[in-house]
Amino acid sequence: MARSINYFHPVVDLITSDERLKLIEIFNDIDEFRYLKPEGSVSRRASNKISADLKHGDAKFTETYSDKYPLCNELVERYNGSIWTFLHVKAGKSIWRHADYKQTRKCCITFPLYPDYSEYANTNFYDDLTQEEPSAYLNYGVVRSPALINVNKFHAVEKSTKDRLAFQIQFFHTSDYKTVRRQMQMNKLLTASV
């Protein structure tokens, strides 16, 4: 297995449990969802599947620059990020292997809000579209913390039996995963890798 830190790195959790509950309320208050455009090199089948899931609300992706939710902007500042988003995926749904669109994001910190880390589906990372075994996998049950993830690597989210919601902090699209990881290390925002 490749070195996992090329794909993800556990991050210090600066969000309190009260703030987590507020984030769930905020997500429930949002009714506009954004179309997530996967990277062009993703297979057409995966791209169609992801688009269909988003259209049917099986997966929901938000992004906002508005000041309507000051808590979200405050959390972004806490991590020196640029914008925030939520990713919601319905029970029984997986996210097929894809890479995020490089022009909009190269990495993000994912904070699983529900279910508990132990029940949160793995994110698997690959170096190409055909590879059978993942190069690395992020098991939140083991890590038990938020994680900075390299979304320019191909990644897929396994099916889970429960609805799942994550809050995500993104960085300016000009900052790639390694640059952000280095900055976070300098700011003591990384925990030991697993």
Q: Report the interface residues with Fe ion, using CB under 5 A.
A: 100, 151
> Nearest to Fe ion by Cβ — which residue?
100
Cβ-contact 143, 110 below 8 angstroms: no
Distance CA 96, CA 65 (A): 27
- Minimal distance in Å, beta carbon 105 to Fe ion? 9
- Minimal distance in Å, beta carbon 100 to Fe ion? 4
- Minimal distance in Å, beta carbon 151 to Fe ion? 5
Residue closer to Fe ion, measured from CB, 53 or 100: 100
Residue closer to Fe ion, measured from CB, 54 or 71: 54
Taken in order 44, 132, 165, 98, is the CA torsion positive or negative?
Answer: negative
Element (H, E) at 27: helix 17-29
Radius of gyration of the chain (CA): 15
Residue closer to Fe ion, measured from CB, 151 or 180: 151
Distance CA 186, CA 184 (A): 5
Residue closer to Fe ion, measured from CB, 58 or 100: 100
Nearest to 37 by CA among 63, 15, 72, 9: 63
- Minimal distance in Å, beta carbon 111 to Fe ion? 15
